[in-house]
Amino acid sequence: MEGQTVSPAHNPCLLIPIYNQGPLVEATLARLQHLGLPCLIVDDGSDAATQAVLDAAAARHDWISLRRLPKNSGKGVAALTGIAWARELGYSHAVQLDADGQHTVEDIPKLLEMSRAEPQALVSAAPIYDENVPKSRLYGRYITHFWVWVETLSLQIVDSMCGFRVYPVAASDDLAREHPIGRRMDFDTDIMVRLYWRGLPVRFLRSRVVYPDNGISNFAPFADNVRITLMHTKLVLGMPLRIPMLLRQRRAHKARNKEAQHWSQVRESGAYAGMWFMASAYRLIGRRGLHLMLYPVIGYFFLRNGQARAASRQFLFRVRTFTAGTEAPTPGVGDSFRHFMSFGRSIVDRVGSWKGDINREQIVYNGREHLLRLVEQGRGGVLLSSHLGNIELLRAMVRSSPGIRINVLVFAANARSINRVMKKINPDADIELIPVTSVDPGTAIMLKEKVARGEFVVIAADRTSPTAPEKSLRVPFLGHDASFPQGAFVLAGLLQSPVLLVFCLQRGRYHFFIEQFSDNMSMARSQRAELLREHVARYALRLQHYAQMAPEQWFNFYDFWAPPAGSADRPAPPARLAQVPID
């Protein structure tokens, strides 16, 4: 068996449900032959021409077996018939794929490798579409994604509609015998959600899906969309009975994957899927429509993420008491929800900036002359930013000032998701994202060359390093000591260039605030510790100033004041967090 290793515990076959796709199935079978896997074809009552093609293929190849249903009953019935048949024949797993050549069969070995590593899992492709994908089908998927996230109280299911997947045969057949499953195009989502409810892991592999020009689709837009809507309605109506079980699953999942205390390890749930959903919805319904859609989406995240809710109310409490004293009102649930909504709106505007929809007229610049002066002199520099406000709108400034070239250092785990979405939205993206886990000498040299060419490097200086959290300094911030990274300031010193502070806050229109921070932050070794602390403290003061101006635009949803393990300074005494009523 070419490229495959079969063990008694993992004995896979191919499964192709087919209806009236005879002209296309021969090419698909030719691409599958080299895999050396037995193939079960379930003919769902096809026309005579397709039956003739299938009969000939089964007679010609001993690795193909054919079973025919007496009448067309739907994809779900055909697939479940095939799964039960595979179980009768002793196969442990079935690789389901479409007959029409949409799926990248070259990825089957990768799917099976994942299945062998986790035999109890449902392993599915997560589609990467070509430009021929019907837009109605594409946008409909994102509506289904949202409802699946609600039905499972989880973002683990990246895509529930792709029919290219590896089923654990026994578990899938048992489910079908005990519960009715969608019979037609509602099948793929229905069975995946129900298997998830039973505790089966669901894993995904990114795989290209094409819509050939001569493709034959059996999707009936009106009838199948009605079926899918009814399926979601039925699943959601049963949610009250399932919530305790789903919460137990979530707790068990968290126990297996303990959340670390560092911000970088607080998982950005479904980062790629979430951003791509927002980008697709933006194209479909526009900025205003997406703002309305934020309420259920952000409401869902607000309800499921107690850690972020606690961090929100902690921050709002501290900024209020620092600004107005102990008599300031304690932030409530509504304040925290508005904080979350502000974050959601910033993501919408981020997508708008990627598409070029936010222009110079929508932005007010304060201190732009500091930046333009350097550009006129042919000099580059460092822009110290933060996770306050929406620094992504630098793109609008770059587009209105062609002489400015921006490079943004981004934590590597997040950069991949951002880059993938950004390039799909706008292949001509005008800001370079540089993924980093740490700044080594090679990175420093590369950045120094960019600055020497008159380019600017943006570094967020408010989050400690994910790879070296101990390299931080604790300085006062809103009345309590907080940890800030040394690395951003050390790197700024190594680049020996001017350093500016840049903040972007929404106050009706977006307002950029650009300040001169240092002409040159290079530090002699004998004075480095003292100067480093001075720079960090000055930065914290300016961040504090702008955080007081727009507290609901603070987007660090973790305990900002918690000292990282092994930090350079002794941890501050425990803050009076108990005074903040948190969930």
Please say if the pLDDT value at position 572 is more than 60.
Answer: no
Residue 535's pLDDT band, with cuts at 50, 70 and 90, is very high
Nearest to 478 by CA among 572, 387, 390, 543: 543
Specify the pLDDT at position 84. 95
d(C-alpha 406, C-alpha 374), whole Å: 13
Please say if the pLDDT value at position 254 is more than 50.
Answer: yes
Range scoring the smallest mean pLDDT among 94-98, 317-321, 406-410: 406-410
d(C-alpha 510, C-alpha 345), whole Å: 12
Specify the pLDDT at position 414. 53
d(C-alpha 166, C-alpha 157), whole Å: 15
Please say if the pLDDT value at position 519 is more than 60.
Answer: yes
Residue 578's pLDDT band, with cuts at 50, 70 and 90, is very low
Residue 227 exposed, middle or buried by CB count within 10 Å (0-12, 13-18, 19+): buried
Specify the pLDDT at position 512. 95
Question: pTM above the 0.85 mark?
Answer: no
Please say if the pLDDT value at position 391 is more than 60.
Answer: yes
Please say if the pLDDT value at position 570 is more than 50.
Answer: no
Residue 313's pLDDT band, with cuts at 50, 70 and 90, is very high
Specify the pLDDT at position 123. 95
Specify the pLDDT at position 66. 94
Alpha carbon of 555 to those of 46, 243, 358, 505: distances in Å? Answer: 55, 29, 21, 12
Residue 574's pLDDT band, with cuts at 50, 70 and 90, is very low
Per-residue pLDDT, averaged over 127-137, amounts to 62
Specify the pLDDT at position 396. 75
Range scoring the smallest mean pLDDT among 126-135, 265-274, 401-410, 421-430: 265-274
**376-390 residue pLDDT tens:** 999 999 999 999 999
The SS3 of residue 533 is helix
Q: What percent of the chain has pLDDT over 70?
A: 77
Please say if the pLDDT value at position 577 is more than 50.
Answer: no
Per-residue pLDDT, averaged over 160-178, amounts to 91
Per-residue pLDDT, averaged over 1-20, amounts to 73
Specify the pLDDT at position 263. 45
Residue 6's pLDDT band, with cuts at 50, 70 and 90, is very low
Strand 472-477 to 202-209 pairing: unpaired
Mean predicted lDDT score pLDDT of the chain = 81
Q: What domains appear along the chain, each with residue ranges and CATH number?
A: 12-249 (3.90.550.10), 360-579 (3.40.1130)
